[in-house]
């Protein structure tokens, strides 16, 4: 009963939206808005195995590499910058400057510098997605509990263990919040990076459909992006529940007290 | 205790002092010759430099802790007890004077020292389970697994927590969390255990249990314990000796020997004649300290 109920909660709004869409496309056919049936049909015909191999998987590959690099660079950089006051003083104004630059304006420059291949696209993703993780990690390291830090010092924890058992887990709630923001930024930049001088990829395919007036196909591509977004958020939630189980439990107890 | 004199006529015995400084003055708190103490605090001074000006927290504190002694540091609130403890633990650098452990100057947290903090909720790693919390310092030392597990098991058993090794600390009550912190210190096998008002945040009944637990652990392990508290009853009940601190800027006001029997009992001991005499005396001294009284010899020494 409980499961049926929570399942209902999940599907209720999508069903209502589908129904409104269905009703509003009942009359005269509109060239720019396909009916739900049309879209499902187009989706199945458009996103074949070939398309997945040729466009979707390369895009997802670059997305995953981009996110992974952002996480590694963001966390390592954040741990270093957060741990040393002088490094923070040295880098913070510069970081603010680079953070303010939208990565999309760098695409033409990057095309000249690193070419039009995968490197450029991954660079664009990393240049946009690294900031929330980096800044959150710095903040997480800085807000370390003093008593906990003193405890580690009195037990003579070495550098490696201090990072592994104290600094990293203590900053983890903030790091995860940063990663969550980065995921949606990465997806947006993945699409945009494929709209310039590209020959394959999800973003490329959608733009091509648009230019050739294949409107239902274009919509099906947009729907696929939405599904990828949902899948990413689902995977993130699973990972978060596993990594931050202690944090949610602690919060629950603090709030009930 | 090297040379304690018991005066049947005198209700309270101040610790006798054996060594005198060259100028003939007797530093309060100095009880054993220089070569013997395990932990020694000499002319410790701590000034905080703030934007609003300097604040002298500790003026001049000298005392030492022989091997195996359980001494309580008691003082009015704001008497710099935590500052003093942090300096002893090597977490804070004194402005002047020094702390030595086995004759070695303490410049950072010494290996053979463990600290139990007042804020148990903030001194246990919330992302590690109870047993993992106790095990971590041992793991950090590179101790092998079977030995580690043995020590963890023993320590949790000693504090009566062998039934919850897989719980997270925040799933336990405050008193139990502080037991975990004590178990971690016990498993670490320190020579000196510093405790900074460890029971200030737990309820009265739990507190009585934890006091007996500390006495039990101390008798079993033979560690030296320096127990900081603002609770006069607690200091007399727990300690073999009570070091009374003045109000800030802090000096040692008096060093009192607690000549109660070794076996202590919450009911018997606390209702005994001697306990109430000692308690009375310490209470009086704390009241004096609050009024700003400072013993002459120690002041002159700074």
> Distance between CA A155 and CA B228 in Å, rounded?
19
Q: How far apart are the first and last CA of chain B?
A: 26
User: Other CB atoms closer than 10 Å to residue B214's CB: what's the count?
Assistant: 22
Q: Residue A165 and residue B114: Cβ atoms within 8 Å?
A: no
Unique residue bearing structure tokens 């895009």:
A59
ipTM attached to this prediction: 0.85
The total of structural domains in chain B comes to 2
Pairing state between β B70-74 and B241-245:
parallel
A&B contacts, CB < 8 Å: 69
pLDDT one digit per residue (tens) for chain B, 302 residues: 444 444 443 455 555 444 444 444 444 555 555 556 789 999 999 999 988 888 889 999 999 999 999 999 998 888 888 899 999 999 999 999 999 998 899 999 999 999 999 998 899 999 999 999 999 999 999 999 999 999 999 999 999 999 999 999 999 999 999 999 999 999 999 999 999 999 988 888 889 999 999 999 999 888 999 999 999 999 999 999 999 998 888 899 899 999 999 889 998 899 999 999 999 999 999 888 888 777 654 444 44
Whether residue B234 is contained in a domain is answered as: yes
Task: Write down which residue in B189, B208, B228 finishes a domain.
Answer: B189
| Residues B175, B210 within the same domain | no
Residue of A nearest to B127 (CA): A246
Query: Cα dist. B236→A212, A256, B178, B195, B229 in Å?
Result: 90, 37, 21, 15, 10
Say which of A148, A161, A250 has its CB closest to residue B170.
A250
On whether both B97 and B204 belong to a single domain, the answer is: yes
B26 and B165 within one domain: no
Q: What is the spatial distance between Cα B258 and Cα B275, in angstroms, rounded to a whole number? A: 9
Same-domain status, B146 and B64: no
Would you kindly state where each structural domain of chain A is located, as residue ranges?
A: 34-256
Structure tokens at A128: 């946009």
Please name the member of A148, A246, A254 whose beta carbon is closest to the beta carbon of B123.
A148
Residues of the domain holding B85 = 14-112+190-302
CB contact under 8 A, A249 and B125: no
Q: Do residues B243 and B85 touch, judged by C-beta distance below 8 A?
A: no
Residue of B nearest to A144 (CA): B122
Say yes or no for a CB contact (<8 Å) between B109 and A172.
Answer: no
- Other C-beta atoms lying within 10 Å of the C-beta of residue B73: 28
CA B63 and chain centroid, separation: 12
* CATH number of B54's domain: 3.40.50.300
A246 contact residues in B (CB cutoff 8 A) = 126-127, 168, 170
Does any CB of chain B come closer than 8 Å to the CB of residue A251? no
Instruction: Indicate the residue among B164, B189, B214 that finishes a domain.
Output: B189
Nearest to B119 among A147, A156, A249 (CB): A147
CA distance B188 to B114: 7
Same domain (yes/no): B243, B174? no
Do B198 and B300 reside in the same domain of the chain? yes
- Interface touch A249/B114, C-beta < 8 Å: no
| Pairing of β B53-65 and β B96-101 | unpaired
Same domain, B177 and B285: no
What CATH fold (topology level) applies to the domain A34-256? Answer: MetI-like fold (1.10.3720)
Handedness of CA B242, B247, B252, B256 (dihedral sign): negative
Q: Looking at the structure, do residues B81 and B197 belong to the same domain, yes or no?
A: yes
How does pLDDT run across B140-190, given as a tens digit for each residue? 999 999 999 999 999 999 999 999 999 999 999 999 999 999 999 999 999
State which residue of chain B sits closest to A145, comparing Cα positions: B122
Would residue B297 count as lying in a domain?
yes
Contact B92/B82 with Cβ under 8 angstroms?
no
Token duo for residue B299: 């002041």
Residue that finishes a domain, picked among B189, B210, B226: B189
B26 falls within a domain: yes
Measured between alpha carbons, how far is A42 from A218 in angstroms, rounded to an integer? 10
Taking CB atoms and an 8 Å limit, are B140 and A154 in contact across chains?
no
3-class DSSP string for B123-156 = HCCCCCCHHHHHHHHHHHCCCCHHHHHHHHHHHH
């Amino acid at each position: 009963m409980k499961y049926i109920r929570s399942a209902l909660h999940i599907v209720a709004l999508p069903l209502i939206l589908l129904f409104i869409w269905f009703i509003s496309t009942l009359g005269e056919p509109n060239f720019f808005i396909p009916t739900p049936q049309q879209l499902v049909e187009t989706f199945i015909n458009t996103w074949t195995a070939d398309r997945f191999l040729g466009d979707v998987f390369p895009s997802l590959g670059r997305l995953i590499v981009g996110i992974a690099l952002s996480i590694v660079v963001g966390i390592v950089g954040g741990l270093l910058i957060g741990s040393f006051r002088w490094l923070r003083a040295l880098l913070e104004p510069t970081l603010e400057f680079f953070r303010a630059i939208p990565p999309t304006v760098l695409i033409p420059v990057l095309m000249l510098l690193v070419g039009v291949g995968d490197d450029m696209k991954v660079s664009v993703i990393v240049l946009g997605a690294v900031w929330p993780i980096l800044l959150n990690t710095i903040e997480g390291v800085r807000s370390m509990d003093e008593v906990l830090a003193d405890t580690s010092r009195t037990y003579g924890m070495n550098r490696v263990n201090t990072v592994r058992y104290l600094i990293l887990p203590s900053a983890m709630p903030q790091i995860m919040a940063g990663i969550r923001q980065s995921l949606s930024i990465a997806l947006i930049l993945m699409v945009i990076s494929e709209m310039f001088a590209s020959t394959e990829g999800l973003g490329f395919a959608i733009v091509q459909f648009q230019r050739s007036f294949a409107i239902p196909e274009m919509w099906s591509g947009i729907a696929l992006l939405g599904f990828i977004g949902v899948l990413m958020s689902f995977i993130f939630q699973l990972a978060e529940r596993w990594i931050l189980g202690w944090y949610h439990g602690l919060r629950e107890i603090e709030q009930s007290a | 205790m090297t040379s304690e004199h018991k005066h049947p006529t005198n209700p309270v015995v101040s610790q006798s002092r054996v060594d005198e400084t060259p100028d003939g003055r007797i530093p309060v708190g100095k009880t054993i010759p220089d070569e013997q103490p395990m932990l020694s605090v000499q002319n410790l001074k701590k000034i905080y430099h703030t934007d609003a000006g300097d604040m002298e927290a500790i003026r001049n504190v000298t005392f030492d802790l022989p091997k195996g002694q359980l001494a309580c540091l008691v003082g009015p609130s704001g008497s710099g007890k935590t500052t003093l403890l942090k300096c002893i633990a090597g977490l804070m650098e004194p402005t002047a004077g020094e702390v030595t452990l086995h004759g070695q100057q303490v410049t950072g947290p010494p290996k053979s020292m463990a600290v139990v903090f007042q804020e148990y909720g903030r001194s246990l790693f919330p992302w590690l389970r109870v047993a993992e919390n106790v095990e971590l310092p041992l793991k950090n030392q590179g101790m092998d697994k079977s030995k580690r597990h043995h020590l963890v098991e023993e320590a949790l058993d000693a504090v009566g927590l062998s039934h919850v090794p897989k719980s997270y600390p925040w799933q336990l009550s405050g008193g139990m969390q502080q037991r975990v912190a004590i178990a971690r210190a016990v498993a670490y096998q320190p020579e000196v255990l510093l405790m900074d008002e460890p029971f200030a945040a737990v309820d009265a009944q739990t507190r009585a249990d934890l006091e007996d637990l500390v006495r039990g652990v101390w008798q079993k392990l033979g560690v030296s314990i320096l127990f900081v508290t603002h609770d006069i009853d607690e200091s007399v009940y727990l300690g073999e000796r009570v070091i009374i601190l003045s109000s800030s800027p802090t000096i040692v006001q008096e060093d009192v020997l607690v000549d109660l029997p070794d076996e202590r009992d919450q009911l018997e001991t606390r209702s005994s004649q001697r306990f109430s005499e000692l308690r009375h005396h310490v209470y009086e001294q704390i009241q004096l300290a609050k009024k700003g009284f400072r013993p002459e010899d120690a002041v002159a020494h700074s």
